[in-house]
A and B are shown apart, each in its own frame.
Chain A
Amino acid sequence: MTFLPFIFAILIPFIYKLCGQKIHTGWFVVLVPLSLFLYFLQYIPLIASGHTVKENIPWMPSLNINITTYMDGLALIFGILITGVGTLVVLYSIYYMSKKREALHNFYVYMLLFMGAMLGLVFSDNILVLYVFWELTSISSFLLIAYWYQRQNSRYGAQKSMMITIFGGLAMLSGFIMLSIVTDTYSIREMLSKLQVISEHSLFLPAMILLLLGAFTKSAQFPFSIWLPDAMEAPTPISAYLHSATMVKAGIYLVARFTPVFGGTSEWFWIVTGVGLITLFYGSISAVNQKDLKALLAYSTISQLGLIMCLLGLGSASLYFGKGDETVVYAYAVLAAMFHLINHSTFKGSLFMVIGIIDHETGTRDIRKLGGLMSLMPISFTLTIIGSFAMAGIPPFNGFLSKEMFFTSVLTAAEHSVFGFKTLSHFIPFIAWVASVFTFIYCMIIVFKTFMGKHQPEKIDKIAKEAPIGKLIPPSILACLVIVIFFVPNVISKNFLQPALHAILPGITINKIEATIKPWHGWNTELLMTIGVVVAGFIMYKLLRRWLFLYDIYPKALTLNHLYNASLLGSEKISFKVTERYMTESIRDYLVYIFGFMIIILGSAIWLSKGYVINVANDSEINMYEAGIIVALVISAVTVFLSKSRLTAVVALGALGYLVSLLFVIFRAPDLALTQLVVETVTAALFLLCFYYLPELRKEKTRIKFKLTNMIISLGVGTIVTILALGANNHRLFASISGFFEDSYTLAGAKNIVNAILVDFRGLDTMLEILVLCIAGLGIYTLIKVQLAGRGKE
């Protein structure tokens, strides 16, 4: 079933081609998430009663990689969110994306790819399959952000999100591989049965950190949050779907999914909680200063994701306690996390859609240009109020409930401080409270700066009016959910939250009374905190102009975006400089590297293996005649080296060749001597022929220039070769096999052993050597005869 979006994505271009002009392609697409949504709905009673559904499709059975789908409470929440919000977003996009102007086939193919990948991600039990889908969401998100690829900002945002999420994805992959090494399985289910092995292994912490890197980059946690505001260049339905309701929650899913594996340790608790809190704080503070409504919503998404992450971190402590009162208290945080996850998807999705409507109807998203739209767009105004107040945590909206639960969780964390950080844990409620105040402020900004105040028609391009009804339906449905959930939270709790809790914290049961979400607790600390948030937030909102200048104090050079850009540019510059430094385009320098490394490697190998043995005892004797030849060889070699003119060098080289053939005679190698003589003669003739045709050059008459590097390198090469030769000569490990060839008369009917080897024993060498000669001959012929095309024109 989860493959349905992929299959449908293949059909989209055909549908678009056939009837894209008449009927909006989205009408066909909407069937996919809708049918999947209905399909998942039927599992709710089954999952709520504590069952799980498992299916297995073999993919690479020999490698133990199979597409195993596993449905429990956690996966089902995500499955329903993805398909439910997906249906509404596709519906919204039908009215949002023009069928005349936009390339809809691309849009829906990418979107269905994303939907399928996201479903695959949450239902995968195999971590490698999970990784495949994870990257597929990154890629489809990349494609969707750059949907309007003509715009430079879109391309920049897409590239940024790609870089950051792929970085995290790869880190996660290595974490997964470590886990599979430790547990010897790819299945998350089976890992849970080997918790003891994992927690005692030395790879426990590295695997945890790498995995969290993946989760934090995907869920835009601090400091990897910078890609999310730039991803707002995507069309608004995409921002609503990917960058608020689904993809950014993949990291949350990952953390929740691996809580049973890593949870209960202080590292997991403090990293997840800490990063979540920092993100919550950073996101809410940054959001207040935004001028673009979508950027504001992006920062608010970052902040809310931090809140959920923080709750998951707190909840993991209950695994540490095992059984007892504290367990239930901390498990409550996980319940809150899942609840806020659902709530956030509803109100954030509707807010994004409304912002899209405002953008379309007024032509701008800039807060400074908007205002006074309340009477012009009453329905949008209502929807914005519902969404914003839910986000701010005000009754009677669902955000209030989850925010209360959040406060309860942080207060209990401060009370029952765990893992030693006694004083630090008292800050948690305080940070959470301050972040909530800022959340309240930016929620007020969304509502009042857009809809209240003076309408400024001269600043906006279009005449503002209410949107068509089709565009308003999907956000209205979500807004209705926001209110409905407030009044019947326990339906959600029973059917979704408790099965999810069971999946995240296996073995920990939370009884019915604890899991009941009450809208009214009485006058407790949480309620007082909420009242404090409203009061403080309202006062600060009224005085907004007095303190907004504080944001300008923070230096531009230290913003995360600036650091990201600078590091990207810097690394590009440095690598370019480094490459330019050693890639000099001069063949001599490359030869120096090659010879230099040869000296270093061979020299150190000889040194380390103590191969530098010089032993003259076994040498054959040397007489005057031979000594004379050797002296003559040295002289001719030096002459070649030092000669001013080419002719001297060639003659000296010829002399050298003849002297070598004399040596061959002495060393009892008649065939070699013969060949050497002939070849030397021909080579010398060739050299002379070449020089005859080369025009005179004055610089040819100069002596070779002295260069210290070259001298050191060449002396090094000579020394190494000598030492190598002497060492090899004195380390004869076994006798030669040439005794076999000496039987050549009986074996091959030849009396010349060398010739017998060449044409009989090892005839293949000779054949190929003839081939080499042929190729060289052809090459020479070609070089001389063939003229390059276009040569004559110059």
Chain B
Amino acid sequence: METVISILIGLFFSIGTYLVLSKSLIRIILGTSIISHGVNLLILTMGGLKRGGAPLLGGIETKFTDSLPQALILTAIVINFAVTALFLVLSYRTYKTLGTDDTDRLRGNVDE
């Protein structure tokens, strides 16, 4: 399972990077979203997969999966969400102000 997920993470990173390298701002944001999914999965995989029950006490399980990565990912998801939301609105605003979402056309002027 870990090997398969690792390859899946690699695929996410590849696709995400390719999207980030594109011209369109929206594709760049899509790319970062995919990369963040890859990162979350990577953290989880590094903690070991399916090596016990859910980290909830009081059940019949006595052996739990690693709880620390889960806490880390939870934080990461929320931060990612905040950043993605900000980026989205930023690209929206960029579009409104400059009339384009092509990064090639967003270059600075020569004298700036």
**B54 touching A722, Cβ below 8 Å:** no
Interfacial residues of chain B within 34-84, with CB under 8 A of chain A in the complex:
34, 37-38, 40-42, 44-58, 64-68, 70-71, 73-75, 77-84
**B14 touching A729, Cβ below 8 Å:** no
**A588 touching B45, Cβ below 8 Å:** no
**A672 touching B22, Cβ below 8 Å:** no
16 A-B pairs (CB sep. < 8 Å): A620-B49, A630-B8, A634-B8, A637-B12, A640-B19, A699-B102, A710-B22, A713-B17, A717-B13, A718-B15, A722-B10, A742-B67, A745-B57, A754-B55, A758-B75, A779-B89
Given known A-B contacts A640-B34, A704-B27, A710-B21, A675 and B74 have beta carbons under 8 A apart: yes
**B81 touching A714, Cβ below 8 Å:** no
Q: How far is the CA of A751 from the CA of B9 in the complex (A)?
A: 31
A699 partner residues in chain B, CB cutoff 8 A: 102
Give the secondary structure class of A's interface.
Answer: helix
Q: How far is the CA of A765 from the CA of B76 in the complex (A)?
A: 10
Q: Is A452 an interface residue, CB under 8 A from the partner?
A: no
Q: How far is the CA of A710 from the CA of B88 in the complex (A)?
A: 23
Residue of A nearest to B100 (CB): A697
**Contact flags B16-36 to A (C-beta < 8 A → 1, else 0):** 111111111011001001100
**A714 touching B21, Cβ below 8 Å:** yes
Q: How far is the CA of A666 from the CA of B65 in the complex (A)?
A: 11
CB proximity of B59 to chain A, nearest CB, Å: 9
Give the secondary structure class of B's interface.
Answer: helix
B101 partner residues in chain A, CB cutoff 8 A: 694, 697
A620 partner residues in chain B, CB cutoff 8 A: 1-2, 48-51
**B55 touching A729, Cβ below 8 Å:** no
**B13 touching A784, Cβ below 8 Å:** no
Q: Which of B37, B49, B95, B103 is close to A667, meaning CB atoms less than 8 Å apart? A: B49
Q: How far is the CA of A258 from the CA of B21 in the complex (A)?
A: 60
Q: Is A463 an interface residue, CB under 8 A from the partner?
A: no
Q: Which of B37, B70, B78 is close to A669, meaning CB atoms less than 8 Å apart? A: B70
With A588-B103, A726-B2 already in contact, 14 other A-B pairs whose C-beta atoms are closer than 8 Å: A586-B107, A653-B34, A669-B70, A672-B70, A679-B78, A704-B22, A718-B12, A721-B9, A721-B13, A725-B46, A752-B57, A753-B57, A758-B75, A780-B89
Q: Identify which of A649, A653, A670, A714 gathers the most chain B CB atoms within 10 Å of its CB.
A: A714
**A717 touching B22, Cβ below 8 Å:** no
Q: Identify which of A587, A630, A738 gathers the most chain B CB atoms within 10 Å of its CB.
A: A738
**A646 touching B26, Cβ below 8 Å:** yes
Q: How far is the CA of A238 from the CA of B68 in the complex (A)?
A: 75
Q: How far is the CA of A762 from the CA of B74 in the complex (A)?
A: 12
A616 partner residues in chain B, CB cutoff 8 A: 3
Q: How far is the CA of A707 from the CA of B71 in the complex (A)?
A: 39
The stretch of A22-30, A269-277, A514-522, A685-693 that contacts the partner chain: A685-693
**A718 touching B10, Cβ below 8 Å:** yes
Q: Which of B15, B51, B57 is close to A638, meaning CB atoms less than 8 Å apart? A: B15
Interfacial residues of chain A within 623-664, with CB under 8 A of chain B in the complex:
626, 630, 633-634, 637-638, 640-641, 646, 649-650, 653, 656-657, 660, 663-664
Residue of B nearest to A663 (CB): B41
B89 partner residues in chain A, CB cutoff 8 A: 690, 779-780, 783-784
**A728 touching B74, Cβ below 8 Å:** no
Q: Is A128 an interface residue, CB under 8 A from the partner?
A: no
Residue of A nearest to B109 (CB): A585
**A715 touching B14, Cβ below 8 Å:** yes
Q: Is A95 an interface residue, CB under 8 A from the partner?
A: no
Q: Which of A660, A687, A728, A783 is close to B37, meaning CB atoms less than 8 Å apart? A: A660
**B14 touching A714, Cβ below 8 Å:** yes
**Contact flags A588-604 to B (C-beta < 8 A → 1, else 0):** 10011001000000000
How many B residues are at the interface, by size bracket?
35 or more
**B8 touching A672, Cβ below 8 Å:** no
CB proximity of A765 to chain B, nearest CB, Å: 5
- Give chain B's interface residues, CB within 8 Å of chain A: 1-24, 26-27, 30, 33-34, 37-38, 40-42, 44-58, 64-68, 70-71, 73-75, 77-86, 88-93, 95, 97, 101-104, 106-108
Given known A-B contacts A722-B9, A736-B68, A682 and B107 have beta carbons under 8 A apart: no
**B70 touching A671, Cβ below 8 Å:** yes
**A772 touching B82, Cβ below 8 Å:** yes
The 4 residue pairs across chains A and B that have the minimum distance between CB atoms: A718-B14, A722-B10, A776-B82, A714-B17
**A751 touching B15, Cβ below 8 Å:** no
CB proximity of A598 to chain B, nearest CB, Å: 10
**A751 touching B56, Cβ below 8 Å:** yes
Q: Is A561 an interface residue, CB under 8 A from the partner?
A: no
Q: Is A543 an interface residue, CB under 8 A from the partner?
A: no
B65 partner residues in chain A, CB cutoff 8 A: 667-669
Q: How far is the CA of A626 from the CA of B2 in the complex (A)?
A: 12
CB proximity of A669 to chain B, nearest CB, Å: 5
Residue of A nearest to B80 (CB): A679
A660 partner residues in chain B, CB cutoff 8 A: 37, 40-41
CB proximity of B101 to chain A, nearest CB, Å: 8
Q: Is A683 an interface residue, CB under 8 A from the partner?
A: yes
Q: Is A773 an interface residue, CB under 8 A from the partner?
A: yes
CB proximity of A786 to chain B, nearest CB, Å: 10
A742 partner residues in chain B, CB cutoff 8 A: 55, 57, 64, 67
Residue of B nearest to A743 (CB): B57
**B74 touching A668, Cβ below 8 Å:** no
Q: Is A552 an interface residue, CB under 8 A from the partner?
A: no
**Contact flags A758-793 to B (C-beta < 8 A → 1, else 0):** 100010011001001101110110011000100100
Q: How far is the CA of A131 from the CA of B80 in the complex (A)?
A: 54
**A729 touching B2, Cβ below 8 Å:** yes
Q: Which of A633, A666, A757 is close to B8, meaning CB atoms less than 8 Å apart? A: A633
Residue of A nearest to B27 (CB): A704
B15 partner residues in chain A, CB cutoff 8 A: 637-638, 640-641, 714, 718
A711 partner residues in chain B, CB cutoff 8 A: 18
B57 partner residues in chain A, CB cutoff 8 A: 742, 744-745, 750-753
Residue of A nearest to B18 (CB): A714
CB proximity of A597 to chain B, nearest CB, Å: 14
**B30 touching A649, Cβ below 8 Å:** yes
Q: How far is the CA of A211 from the CA of B7 in the complex (A)?
A: 60
Q: Identify which of B44, B48, B71, B82 gathers the most chain A CB atoms within 10 Å of its CB.
A: B71
Q: Identify which of B65, B67, B95 gathers the most chain A CB atoms within 10 Å of its CB.
A: B67
Given known A-B contacts A711-B18, A717-B14, A719-B10, A753 and B64 have beta carbons under 8 A apart: yes
Q: Is A605 an interface residue, CB under 8 A from the partner?
A: no
**A656 touching B34, Cβ below 8 Å:** yes
B52 partner residues in chain A, CB cutoff 8 A: 668
B84 partner residues in chain A, CB cutoff 8 A: 683, 686
**B21 touching A721, Cβ below 8 Å:** no
B75 partner residues in chain A, CB cutoff 8 A: 758, 765-766, 769
A736 partner residues in chain B, CB cutoff 8 A: 47-48, 66, 68
Given known A-B contacts A656-B37, A686-B88, A666 and B18 have beta carbons under 8 A apart: no
